[in-house]
Amino acid sequence: MSASPLHIAVLDDEPDITQLLAGYLGAQGYRVTQLHSGAALMDTMAHDLPALVLLDLGLPGEDGFTIARRLRERFHCGLVIVTGRGDAVDKIVGLEVGADDYVTKPFDLRELVARIKAVLRRIVPATPTSASATAPRGARFAFAGWTLDTAARRLDDPQGVEVVLTGGEFDLLAVMLQHPGRVLSRDFLLEQTRGREAAPFDRTIDVQVGRLRRKIEADPERPELIKSVRGAGYVLIAAVTAA
């Protein structure tokens, strides 16, 4: 860890859970803020932006998915949903609204820390083991008028306006831009973007591709840049050049 510990915000309505996580994550070298309401989280985001948020969905009187969506619209940070709602539909919705990972209760603390580290490696630029490190350092890719800067972890649209991506979306696009015209399997994309921490939830890549299409395609329902190949995976068909 660096001299300045990474900040993690933990939002859960159960103090026992936030205290447990604060103690364990603190021992791992993180600075932890314990929160118990969406309003408290938004106040923290405005004044002490965390690198990552652990978000419980089951907050009394609050919709956890709405909070997650608000985070994605306003802030750039990692987001891991930690909840007792283990239904597959909830997992898909969680990923759809922008979560980088989805962990169900009860959870193993060591596994949760491994998942947190995996997300942080993708979103903290200074971390040398970031998934985008597979691209040449400082590489910039131009495609269909868009520009992806891997050093700044920034995507600009054809008008030069930044389009905010989650860590998973950024890494997925970076991998595709390194292999234009090649059909990439879901397993390959999962391994390249999440490495050994990849979970056996094969809808993750499909969900992230869907989110990415909504951000870069003129018509996400009829994609022209990222095509599906039935039974094989996905292929980026745009011409890619080094910018």
Q: What is the pLDDT of residues 184-215, one digit of tens each?
A: 888 888 888 876 454 544 577 888 899 999 99
Task: Measure the CA–CA gap between 173 and 155, rounded to whole angstroms.
Answer: 10
Distances (CA, A) of 139 to 10, 115, 136, 150, 236: 34, 26, 5, 6, 18
Closest CA to 175 of 194, 156, 160, 200: 194
* Domains, in order of start, for the chain: 7-123 (3.40.50.2300), 131-242 (1.10.10.10)
pLDDT surpassing 50 at residue 128: no
Higher pLDDT, residue 136 or 78: 78
What lies within 8 Å, CB to CB, of 126 at 6+ separation is: 2
Task: Measure the CA–CA gap between 114 and 194, rounded to whole angstroms.
Answer: 11
Q: Using alpha carbons only, what angle is made at residue 135 by residues 133 and 138, rounded to the nearest 5 degrees? A: 85
Per DSSP, 125 falls in state T
Is pTM beyond 0.75? Reply is: no
Helix then strand then coil, % of the chain, to nearest 5:
40, 20, 40
Q: Which helix (H) or strand (E) holds 169?
A: helix 167-178
Distances (CA, A) of 167 to 72, 113, 120, 124, 171: 11, 17, 8, 9, 6
pLDDT surpassing 70 at residue 233: yes
Phi, psi of 23 (to 5 degrees): -65, -45
pLDDT surpassing 90 at residue 141: yes
pLDDT surpassing 80 at residue 112: yes
pLDDT band, residue 2 (cuts 50/70/90): very low
Whether the ω angle into residue 125 lies within 30 degrees of 0, i.e. cis, is: no
- Is residue 238 within 8 Å of residue 225, measured between CB atoms? yes
227 DSSP β-pair partners? 235
Q: What is the pLDDT of residues 17-74, one digit of tens each?
A: 999 999 999 988 999 999 999 999 999 998 999 999 999 998 888 899 999 999 988 8
pLDDT surpassing 80 at residue 133: no
Whole-number pLDDT of residue 136 = 53
